[in-house]
Amino acid sequence: MKSRTKIKSKVAVAFLENFPKAYNNYTLKHVSKQPGVPEANLTKPLAECKVALLSTAGVHLKTDIPFDLDIQDHTIRIVPGKAQEEELTVTHMYYDTKFAKKDTTIVFPIQQLKELEQSGVIGSVSDIHIGLYGGIMETEQVEKESIPKVVELFKNKDIDVALLVPG
Amino acid sequence: MITLLPEVTEKVGVPRTLHVPFKLGRPCGEPFDFETRKKVINQLLELAAKPAGTRMEYIE
Could you list the pLDDT tens digit for every one of the 167 residues in chain A? 788 888 888 888 887 788 778 777 777 777 888 888 888 899 999 999 999 999 999 999 999 999 999 998 999 999 999 999 999 999 999 999 999 999 999 999 999 999 999 999 999 999 999 999 998 888 899 999 999 999 999 999 999 999 999 99
E strands along B1-60, which residues?
A: 2-3, 17-19, 55-57
Q: Is B25 on the interface with A (CB under 8 A)?
A: yes
Looking at the partner chain, which of B15, B37, B45 has a beta carbon nearest the beta carbon of A122?
Answer: B45
Whether B52 sits inside 8 A of A41 (CB atoms) is: yes
Closest-approach residue (CA) in chain A for B54: A37
A105, with CB counted inside 10 A (0-12, 13-18, 19+), is buried
Nearest residue to A165 (alpha-carbon basis) of A88, A69, A62: A88
Among candidates A38, A122, A167 on the partner chain, residue whose Cβ is nearest the Cβ of B15 = A38
Q: Output the pTM of the full model.
A: 0.92
SS3 A166: coil
At residue B3, the 3 state secondary structure works out as strand
